[in-house]
Amino acid sequence: MSTQPPLPALTGARPVHLPIERAFQFFTESFNAWWPKQYHIGRADLAEVVLEGRVGGRWYERGVDGTECDWGHVRVWEPPHRLVVTWQINGYWQYDPDPGHASEVEVRFTATGPNETLVEVRHDQLERLVAGQQLRDGITGGGGWPSLLEAFASTATREAR
């Protein structure tokens, strides 16, 4: 366990024009439709991002050459309201298998209407990561979770039509 002082959480929130069940499903099953292809840690270009929909499931990338790089694991799976995954990518953009070094990404889905859902992300415990401040700086410099949620929301809205 790190003795580093806590780092501020990374957050983002975005409404999406989908019913809550469909928003959760699209978020968890359609990473390839909205996750930027340049955001990967493997040596090969990104072919797909996979999130195994169960507690203990892997969250990983598969490269175009078939290699896999873990990103973390599913800690909480509560469709259609909540998902928590570990983020085991350190500040050097490498997978760290030590769960004691994992930060957490919590995603909450709240129905705000019959066809509207608020999606909120909170990425915290960044101080647990090796070079956590470096990772935090890199994520915020690239737009962070707000830009990822924007990509998610615009892709989900387009797909829903």
pLDDT digits (tens, 9 = 90+) for 10-19: 999 999 999 9
What is residue 1's predicted lDDT score, i.e. its pLDDT? 52
User: Residue 79 carries which DSSP code?
Assistant: T
Q: Is residue 95 part of a domain?
A: yes
**117 is in which domain, residue-wise?**
10-160
| Helix ranges, 10-109 (H) | 20-29, 31-34
Q: Is residue 1 part of a domain?
A: no
pLDDT digits (tens, 9 = 90+) for 44-90: 999 999 999 999 999 999 999 999 999 999 999 999 999 999 999 99
* Residue 39, helix vs strand vs coil: coil
Q: Is residue 121 part of a domain?
A: yes
Q: Is residue 107 part of a domain?
A: yes
Q: Supply the CATH number for residue 63's domain.
A: 3.30.530.20
49-58, 104-113, 138-147: segment of lowest average pLDDT: 138-147
Q: Is residue 75 part of a domain?
A: yes
